[in-house]
Every structure is written in C-alpha cells, then in structure tokens.
A and B are shown apart, each in its own frame.
Chain A
C-alpha cells in the first residue's frame, strides 16, 4: 500500500496539508473557524452568549471545517466538499440543471433535506416565529401601546440608516435592504428578507445576523452602561394606576385583528406575521396540546437545526468570500445604531415624563425577544434591586417585532420585483 493511499484515508488532514501548499489563506481560516467553533461552545456553556444557538452553531462550525474532503459532485468548490450540505445546489439560472443538481445532492448530503425544504424557503423562520409567538404575552403591549411603539420605532434606526450606508459599499438597493434588516435584531425576519431580496447573499447574511445576535446578548450591556449613568439606570417605574386585567379573550381579539390588518397592509411579510400571531392566538386559546407543541418541540427543534445549519454553512470558502467582509462591518453597525436609537427613545420618554422613565428600557425596543428585555432588567436590577422594569421592556420588545415586520414588509414591497 502506498503512502498516498494511507494519507487518503485521512482526507480532513490531507485537504488541510494540501490547502497550506496551494491556498494557505483558506487553510488558516479553516483552523481559525474550528477554534472559533470551540470558543462559541465554551461561551454558550458559560451563558455569556445565547446557548440555545451557540452550542449547535459552534459544533457545526468546528465539524464542517474539520471534515472537508475530496468530494465535489457539482464541481462548485475546486474538488473539495463535505457530506453535510451544499448551499449552492440549484443556484444557477438553468432551471433544469438546478432541479437535477438538487436531486443529486438530496441523495448524498445528510442535512440537505433540512436545508432545501426548511431553511432556504424560510419555513424554519416561520416555525421559530410560531414558537416565539406562543411565548409572547401581548398584554404588555396592550397596557402601554404608545410607549412601547415609541421605543420600537427608535430602535429601528439601524434597519433604516444602514440601507444607504450599505449602498456606499457597492451593494444594490435590494442587497442593502437585506443587510440593513439585521438592525432589527430579529433572526427569522433577517432570513425571510434576505431570501426575498438578496438570495445570493442569504447564507452570509444569515450567518452574520445570528452570530451578532449572539454577541448582542454580551455586547448590549456595555452600550447601555456607556450611555446611561447609574443614577438614571436605578429609576424605578412609577406604580401603575390600578387597571383591570386584560383577559385572554381580549388578547386573542387583539392578535386576530392585528394579524389580519398587518397582512392586509403588508402581504409580502404575511407568512411571518401570520406565524407570529398564530403562536399568540394558540397561547391565548388555552389549547394545551398546541401550546406545548409550539413552545417545546417546534421552537426548540427549529432553533437547534437553525443553529446547526448556520454553523455548518460557516465553511472557510463562504467566510473568505470578498462580499462577506463589509457585511461583518455593516451587520455590527446596524445593530449598534439600533441599540443607540433604542436608548435615545428611552431618553425621549425620560424627558417627556419628567424623569420618571428609566432610559435603559430603550434597549428592549431592539426586537431580540426576550434577550434585550432580559438585558435591560438585569442591568437595572444591578443598579437598583427593587426596580422591576420587565413588563415595560417586554412591551417594547414585542412592539419591536411588529415594527421589524413592518419595515421588512415595506422593503420587500418596495424593492422585490
């Protein structure tokens, strides 16, 4: 047996050695991504980043970059590939070739059925939205609709301002809008919008959006601490005038009417709007089996596969794409502007209420449900143990989901042809 035959058994090692002699940059990035995968798992385990996403994503990222071998049935990656998933299958303009490519890959790559039938058509985003909807208590918005909407509208600044900025980097209006929506900090909405407006950038935008959403969990507290002095962070919300409790029937009426109205106004975003409010309606209907199904298996199975697929899509070739580098910058800029906008909205309410409103709640206008609301509560509780701002923060959070859906709908209606 020749030495070549022996080394061919260990193709992961062989492709890496080959990479160092032919394309050292890709080989180095492969190693960096394996290490980054380990880091994400560690940070997820320590709960510094969101563990539900980061653990499957980190393992996927490390495994995909380790398992590259000499395999490229569609001839897309210079003879190298994996048995996991082929995101480029069916990406040519020839419909017949696309169908043949997809059928070929569906029979080979084990995660391809999940990618093709749930990820690349937005189904997984819709399923996650159903799960999120089933966790949302819309009563928080119904008690204080104007206050919640003000914060949410301010916290959309990133989704707006990033569009023209992205155009300066050479992206088309459609691509720029798909990138800008990262500022809404709403993962499923980002997937949905990029599929509609810039399918060619879908994979890098999805990876970057979710990576940053994980980092938002760890990064936003620094932004809030930087912009809100401790004295203001300790402000306790004034006691609410005794209002009657909102019944589940009323919440259901609200969800049905808002769903139909938003679908009527923005049919392009109707699948996501429907799924979100379907979750809310199920929650308020009290049908236990459906509630358990949405809050448990559907939400967690979708999140797990989403995280795993995002990690697996992070192979060295995708990350090395020259289009990805500006995306890294624009994604973080968009989230940063949205965070700043949210806190500015908090300051506006602080001045309007004569100093009774805690400006730190503004960060919850960024619709990363319920992460940013939890971030706000944690920070405020550190400054003043007796201050409970979670109801206000969750109201802003839920309104943020609605405003992001509105912006996604407007972008898709204006730009998609």
Chain B
C-alpha cells in the first residue's frame, strides 16, 4: 500500500470507530438515564 492509501484508509477507519464510540456513548447515557430514573 502506498502512503496516501494507508493515510486515507486509516482516516476512514478512525472516523467510523470514533463515531461508533460517540453513538455508543450517546446510547449508554440514554440507557443509564432511564435506569437511574426507574431507580429513583
């Protein structure tokens, strides 16, 4: 793989993983929020 291909592939994968993490955080906050409401 040449440098630009590695760079492009890495950036694409980073964006996917980063937004997957962000989505997971968002989901977690919603679920934990509902759980804590139920508890209270």
Contacts and interface: CB of A to CB of B under 8 A. Distances in A.
A152 B21 CA distance: 12
Contacts of A177: 6
B25 to A, nearest CB: 4
A414 B10 contact: yes
Contacts of A286: none
B14 A149 contact: no
Contacts of A403: 14, 18
26 contacts: A142-B25, A145-B23, A145-B29, A146-B26, A148-B22, A149-B18, A152-B18, A153-B15, A153-B18, A160-B14, A163-B6, A167-B2, A173-B1, A173-B3, A173-B6, A244-B33, A247-B36, A250-B36, A257-B24, A262-B21, A399-B18, A402-B21, A406-B14, A410-B13, A414-B6, A414-B9
B18 A406 contact: yes
Interface of A: 141-143, 145-146, 148-149, 152-153, 156, 160-161, 163-164, 166-167, 173, 176-177, 180, 244, 246-247, 250, 253-254, 257-258, 261-262, 265, 399, 402-403, 406-407, 410-411, 414-415
Nearest to A162: B7
Given A146-B22, A163-B10, A410-B14, 18 more contacts: A141-B25, A145-B21, A145-B26, A145-B29, A146-B26, A156-B14, A160-B7, A177-B6, A244-B36, A246-B29, A246-B32, A250-B29, A258-B21, A399-B18, A403-B14, A403-B18, A410-B13, A411-B10
A163 B22 CA distance: 26
Main secondary structure of the interface of B (DSSP, over half): helix
A166 B23 CA distance: 34
A173 B10 CA distance: 13
A166 B11 CA distance: 17
Contact of A156 (B3, B11, B26): B11
B20 to A, nearest CB: 9
List the 7 shortest-distance A-B pairs measured between CB atoms, nearest first. Answer: A164-B3, A145-B22, A145-B25, A167-B3, A149-B22, A250-B32, A164-B4
A241 to B, nearest CB: 14
A173 B7 CA distance: 10
